[in-house]
Amino acid sequence: MTSADVARESGVSRTTVSYVLNAKSGVVITEATRQRVLDAAARMGYTPSAAARALRSGRSDLVLCVLPDWTFGPVIDRLIDHVTTALAEHGLSVLVHSGRGTQSLQELWRAVTPCVVLGLAPFADADREALRRAGIPVVGAALDEDPHPDVFAVPQISIGRLQVEHLADRGHRVLAYAAPADPRLSAFADRRLAGVRLECERRGLPEPRVAAVDLAVEDAARAVRQWRTGEPVTAVAAYNDEVALAVLAGARAMGLRVPDDVAVIGVDDIPAARLAAPALTTVWQAIDAQADHLVASVRAALDATLPLPARTDDVFHVVAREST
């Protein structure tokens, strides 16, 4: 179905159809004619071609969001939902592509011709340069401090350090780290564990005892049992809230009291953290602020009159509850 079909059906020129369907400003078209074109398009199931629209305007309205090979959970879902909703208000659509598979980034952006590429992890220098040569702006986020002004950095090492700081300030000296069992989360987990180790070393605490914890009571109980042998662990820094909730269940299965026998702190402040028994202490992350920064960066990349967004100082902080 083409605009020529709509023109024949509504009895007007293709130019008039184009003006109506693209909401062309500065053109006088009667309301009766406009409605006749819209009714014909709806009746025939006509959808404007995104590729043709991109050729006319010189740019597409598609933002390509590239995710590494991560698992999806409440945090990523919330971030993507916020970004997608906010950009839609400015006439931009978001295509989310997971890093799973064999298609290269260059093959991907050449296939979909986006107006901006949004990355939730840094791209290789060669990819950034290829996009720059193609005139496609790149904005994104990073797990470490990043020198690019359009990158929102949430340093994961600092999250691990903050967990230890909270636990150590409450008198705990023998700590454990509950890592995720899924290797796809290593980009986050390795950095957070590095932060835990650095802060333990800085405070003169023993090396944290590390175990991967699957989201099952039996597996968590095994880890807790291991941590309680020898000099018992009295506090656990968990990779995220889901792993922390598993540790709570494992401690309960072992007959331990939280926080009297063992304290637990997670990361992300998911809704279930508040409903746990006891309520889970966690590290809150500024997901909405990150999403707002990414949206503003995309808009600034497309409109030079808009300023780059300022970075918020409150990227994360501890939400103290009963589990510590």
**pLDDT tens sequence for the chain (324 residues):** 788 888 889 999 888 988 888 777 678 889 999 899 999 988 888 766 544 554 454 557 899 998 888 877 888 899 999 999 999 999 899 999 876 555 577 777 777 889 999 988 878 888 888 888 888 888 888 888 766 666 788 889 999 999 999 999 999 999 999 999 999 899 899 999 999 999 999 999 999 999 999 999 999 999 999 999 999 999 999 999 999 999 999 999 999 999 999 999 999 999 999 999 999 999 999 899 899 999 999 999 999 899 888 877 788 999 999 999
- Res 51: pLDDT: 47
Q: What are the contacts of 53-59 at 24+ separation with CB within 8 A?
A: 53/22, 54/113, 56/22, 59/115, 59/302
How far apart CA 114 and CA 93 sit, in angstroms, is 10
> Cα 283 to chain center, whole Å?
16
* C-alpha atoms less than 13 angstroms from C-alpha of 142 in its C-beta half-sphere: 16
- Res 49: pLDDT: 56
Give me the torsion for CA of 182, 187, 189, 191, rounded to 10°.
Answer: 170
Closest CA to 58 of 16, 138, 15, 115: 115
Residue with tokens 């494992």: 250
Proportion of the chain in helix, strand, coil states, percent, rounded to 5: 45, 15, 40
SS (H, E, C) 74-91: HHHHHHHHHHHHHHHCCC
DSSP 153: E
For the chain, the farthest-separated pair of C-alpha atoms sits apart, in whole angstroms, at 87
- Res 146: pLDDT: 65
Q: Which residues contact 292 (CB under 8 A, 6 or more apart)?
A: 82, 86, 309
Beta strand pairing status for 116-119 and 93-98? unpaired
Alpha helices per DSSP H over the chain = 3-10, 14-21, 31-44, 50-57, 74-88, 105-112, 125-133, 156-168, 186-202, 217-228, 241-253, 271-275, 287-302
Residue with tokens 């293709």: 14
- Res 33: pLDDT: 92
- Res 85: pLDDT: 95
8 A C-beta contact, residue 114 and residue 106:
no
- Res 256: pLDDT: 97
